[in-house]
Amino acid sequence: MKRPELLTRLLITATLLGVVALPLWAWVSVLSNVEEPLIHASIAESGGWSPDVIQAKVGEPLHLKFTSDDVMHGFAVGQMEMQPVDIEPGKVSETTLTFTKPGIYTFFCTRWCGINHWRMRGTLEVSGEPTAPETVSPALYVTLGLNLDAPHLADAVPAEKPSAARGMGLLHQISNLPVDQSADYYRSHSPSQVFQDLSTSGLTDSQRWEVVAALWAQNTSPAALAEGGEIYAQNCAACHGETGSGNGVFADDLAARGEASMQAMSGSMDMSMQTPASFSDPQRMLGASPALLQGKILRGGMGTGMPMWGSIFTDEQIWNVIAYLYSFQFDYSK
């Protein structure tokens, strides 16, 4: 290529850059700096989130700004690794999210702002192609065909809280116990079913319960129980009580408010308010398999005031909170 020709080309390129690219660049940067609308948070009775539907695209950062119209709220998106954002009255807080999968996400309030706190939920509609492979399998209660609404009371309960440590000793001593130590067996059986399965073991009733407690302890870990306990304290204790006995600070309000505080969902006309389930009731808890509790937690509703949590927590978080619920029944101390 001759020298003058090269120069001309360079000149033309530079001019084009100046004429087309620069303004384009300026325009794009103006566009991306457009003020995002402010998302207002207020207690559910005054409308909750406004707007309560947000759109986003896979792979494109979504910048959100919040303020509160009344008390302190919080923002988090279900099933997403993120730091919850505190939303205070008179202040603006912000966060940026990027999604890897399209779908309908649930965003929710992370601060107990009142009796209807858990109703403060909104929808995030994410469109586009997935950038990570998707693995969706049906929940275990669906695979097992469990009827979540059937009564599930245990027909036998232990005389006292069974010790997992003593059960662990028995598990190691006795070689041919008729139980299976797999996660599948644990998840699909209630403690009282396992107690029945142990009827040919030659153990006393209290020893059988101790073996059950050991199997339940084996299927979780101190770290998983700690995470489950944290989720419970933040999301469940206000209704179900710190000690699991169903007497949380909102339990009386729930019963008194009746219809008013019911979860808005189809079929809500048939709902009747109930006091939250007591996880310290052995008949109820020892008669429920982890799969059954998972179904109840995922689905919520139940014709009562139980919120649905399926779109909020990951599978692992739900198994951990279930493991924690059983700790109201079993003695896990060493």
Contact residues toward Cu ion (CB under 5 A) are 73, 109, 113, 120
174: how many CB neighbours lie within 10 A of its CB?
13
By the rule CB under 6 A, 276 interacts with ligand HEC:
yes
Closer to Cu ion by CB, 41 or 277: give it.
Answer: 41
Work out which of 67, 193, 283, 304 binds ligand HEC, going by CB under 6 A: 304
Work out which of 79, 100, 274, 283 binds ligand HEC, going by CB under 6 A: 274
Task: Give the integer Cα–Cα distance in Å for 264 and 275.
Answer: 18
Residue 63's SS3 state is strand
Residue 114 contact partner, candidates ligand HEC, Cu ion, none, CB within 5 to 8 A by sort of partner:
none
CB of 193 to ligand HEC, least distance (A): 15
- Go through the chain and tell me how many residues it has: 334
Task: Give the integer Cα–Cα distance in Å for 263 and 169.
Answer: 46
Residue 67 contact partner, candidates Cu ion, ligand HEC, none, CB within 5 to 8 A by sort of partner:
none
Residue 282 contact partner, candidates ligand HEC, Cu ion, none, CB within 5 to 8 A by sort of partner:
none
Work out which of 97, 239, 298, 323 binds ligand HEC, going by CB under 6 A: 239
Burial class (CB in 10 A: 0-12, 13-18, 19+), 148: middle
Residue type, 158: P
CB of 271 to Cu ion, least distance (A): 22
48: how many CB neighbours lie within 10 A of its CB?
21
Task: Give the integer Cα–Cα distance in Å for 323 and 294.
Answer: 10
Work out which of 40, 189, 208, 284 binds ligand HEC, going by CB under 6 A: 284
CB of 55 to ligand HEC, least distance (A): 28
Task: Give the integer Cα–Cα distance in Å for 280 and 285.
Answer: 7
Which of the stretches 52-60, 61-69, 191-199, 231-239 binds ligand HEC when contact is defined by CB under 6 A?
Answer: 231-239
Closer to ligand HEC by CB, 40 or 73: give it.
Answer: 73
> Which residue reads 């996400």 in tokens?
105
